[in-house]
Chain A
């Protein structure tokens, strides 16, 4: 059996976990995805258009 690091896939994994700065990029990516999804969610809530003029102090039950 060959040593796994002879395979390009494992070489890539080795590069991925050993290269300085890549960790920060992953943290940045996580934070970026999280913040973007939070902002989009808030926009989605704020942009809710309703035909009715009714205002509810708590979620209306159907």
Chain B
């Protein structure tokens, strides 16, 4: 017997998969234009060697490794969030589970690319296995990443099987033969029989249980990898949980951006991914933000109070030195993101004449505070006097507060836009956080002279390319598979209908 599907869902979710319209091709071309320069410069790096980057002893990890940690972070969150919500039987998870799980798979794939790029010679990857010893932390990372990637692909595939069977049974006559064959093979002869559903549900539950510790292991193993190098700034016992919290925080941010991108790309999805998802996941986002601030304070406070000879210069470079713009930039972005998420929940809908809560005030204050931030960053000799510096910092803080107050009312009425803005701030802030963990230590390494690191055009272009590749995978994948788990949504509707009767 053939699968049945709500006709409305078929029109909204399956029909667009066969429409290769102008929007799709334009997106593809734009992404290729974004990816191409980085790939060309990477090809140049393959020919000329790592000398085209600023990687050298002791800074042997630079922008590529920052990208790696950032990407495994967002990857960790996707499936773990989906698995936790699945096990807790949270109903609003249904429209977003597939996007979350696919982000994990694509995030891990692009993260793996960073390791290959950082090695300089890709053929050296084989050596890590041929000569890898169990005591090597890099090997633990490879084991964890491989296992997580395989499990994430499996989790995504398990959840896709009933929808692939739908695609097999409902594909239009004009659909290419290879596509029909692909769906037929991938559906594994799924008929939707009771026993098949029982087994599938059991498998999904078991995988959900296993994937949570595997995901957590991936990020904590990376933090152990740092700790075992016995470098200042990387020996904190809190580094593992700090990495995990940051990962979930940035992962939720990317999930918000990806779902909003999907909603904009296919307008029909607005009916499935509603504001309630933004509100509900927004609460978890706020909690993660609070925990992240607590850990950051902990990391900073302990080092500052102990003033240990090796640790303190690393922290000082973040607080007042060459990494201060990245550190304070991260803090400002996170404060702004948290405000954007929290403040609208405490203001009323009524219009106000108070100039502090006018959007214009907020925008003007934002513009001026950005100018002041860059003036402080550039450290112009004319503004180097301590009194002028103090005035600039004070003016920045006041204007920053005005900026936050000014945009509050505007955000109140635009929950999706404001969540996306907060997510973008969090993502950029978390990338800077990874930068602030890695580079201050490597440039202030133990027992050798301090050095500097400035990413070259190759590293910058490859970084941009990486995020282009991530987006490209997302766009292409969702041209072949529905971005919403159709059977889960239908099940949710049925459960809702049952509970109302």
Known: A27-B139, A27-B142, A50-B194. A45 touches B132 (CB 8 A): no
Q: Which residues of B contact A61 (CB under 8 A)?
A: 494, 498
- CB distance A18 to B133 under 8 Å? yes
Give, as a whole number of angstroms, the nearest-CB distance from B223 to chain A.
20
**Within 8 Å of chain B (Cβ to Cβ): is A35?**
yes
Give, as a whole number of angstroms, the nearest-CB distance from B297 to chain A.
37
Q: How far is the CA of A33 from the CA of B6 in the complex (A)?
A: 39
Give, as a whole number of angstroms, the nearest-CB distance from A32 to chain B.
11
Q: How far is the CA of A6 from the CA of B161 in the complex (A)?
A: 55
A/B pair count, beta carbons within 8 Å:
120
Among the stretches B29-37, B109-117, B144-152, the one at the interface with A is B144-152
A22-47 CB mask vs B (1 if < 8 Å, else 0) is 11101100110011001001101110
- CB distance B150 to A57 under 8 Å? no
**Within 8 Å of chain A (Cβ to Cβ): is B189?**
yes
**Within 8 Å of chain B (Cβ to Cβ): is A21?**
yes
Q: Which of A18, A41, A44, A52 contacts B135 (CB 8 A)?
A: A18
- CB distance A23 to B194 under 8 Å? no
Give, as a whole number of angstroms, the nearest-CB distance from B254 to chain A.
25
Q: How far is the CA of A24 from the CA of B136 in the complex (A)?
A: 11
- CB distance B201 to A59 under 8 Å? yes
Give, as a whole number of angstroms, the nearest-CB distance from B221 to chain A.
13
- CB distance A41 to B203 under 8 Å? yes
- Chain B residue nearest to A16 (CB atoms) is B134
- Chain B residue nearest to A43 (CB atoms) is B188
- CB distance B146 to A24 under 8 Å? no
Q: Which residues of B contact A35 (CB under 8 A)?
A: 150
- CB distance B193 to A57 under 8 Å? no
- CB distance A56 to B197 under 8 Å? yes
Q: Which residues of B contact A58 (CB under 8 A)?
A: 162, 197, 487-488, 490-491, 494
Residues of chain B in range 462-491 having any CB-CB distance to chain A below 8 Å: 487-488, 490-491
**Within 8 Å of chain A (Cβ to Cβ): is B25?**
no
**Within 8 Å of chain B (Cβ to Cβ): is A60?**
yes
Q: Which residues of A contact B199 (CB under 8 A)?
A: 44-45, 48
A7-24 CB mask vs B (1 if < 8 Å, else 0) is 000000000111111111
Give, as a whole number of angstroms, the nearest-CB distance from A58 to chain B.
4
Q: How far is the CA of A35 from the CA of B149 in the complex (A)?
A: 11
Known: A18-B133, A56-B194, A56-B197. A30 touches B3 (CB 8 A): no
- CB distance B146 to A27 under 8 Å? yes
**Within 8 Å of chain A (Cβ to Cβ): is B154?**
yes
Q: Give the size range of B's interface with the partner.
A: 35 or more
**Within 8 Å of chain B (Cβ to Cβ): is A55?**
yes
**Within 8 Å of chain A (Cβ to Cβ): is B200?**
yes
Q: Which of A26, A45, A57 contacts B200 (CB 8 A)?
A: A45
- CB distance B147 to A50 under 8 Å? no
Q: Which residues of A contact B188 (CB under 8 A)?
A: 42, 45-46
Q: How far is the CA of A41 from the CA of B490 in the complex (A)?
A: 25
- CB distance A55 to B133 under 8 Å? no
**Within 8 Å of chain A (Cβ to Cβ): is B173?**
no
Known: A17-B134, A20-B131, A38-B154. A54 touches B147 (CB 8 A): no
- Chain A residue nearest to B495 (CB atoms) is A61
- CB distance B194 to A52 under 8 Å? yes
Give, as a whole number of angstroms, the nearest-CB distance from B477 to chain A.
19
Q: Which residues of B contact A2 (CB under 8 A)?
A: none
Q: Which residues of A contact B133 (CB under 8 A)?
A: 17-20, 22-23
- CB distance B139 to A23 under 8 Å? yes
**Within 8 Å of chain A (Cβ to Cβ): is B191?**
yes
- Across the A-B interface, the 3 shortest Cβ-Cβ residue pairs: A23-B132, A58-B491, A50-B193
23 contacts between A and B (CB under 8 A): A17-B133, A17-B135, A19-B133, A20-B130, A20-B131, A22-B133, A23-B133, A23-B134, A26-B134, A34-B150, A41-B154, A45-B196, A46-B189, A48-B198, A50-B194, A54-B193, A55-B1, A55-B4, A56-B197, A57-B3, A57-B4, A59-B197, A61-B498
Interface residues of B (CB under 8 A from A): 1-6, 128-136, 139, 142-143, 146-147, 150-151, 154, 158, 161-162, 166, 188-201, 203, 487-488, 490-491, 494, 498
Other 19 A-B pairs with CB < 8 A, given A26-B134, A34-B150, A49-B195:
A24-B132, A27-B132, A27-B139, A34-B147, A41-B154, A41-B158, A48-B193, A50-B191, A54-B1, A55-B191, A55-B193, A56-B194, A56-B197, A57-B4, A57-B6, A58-B490, A59-B197, A59-B198, A60-B194
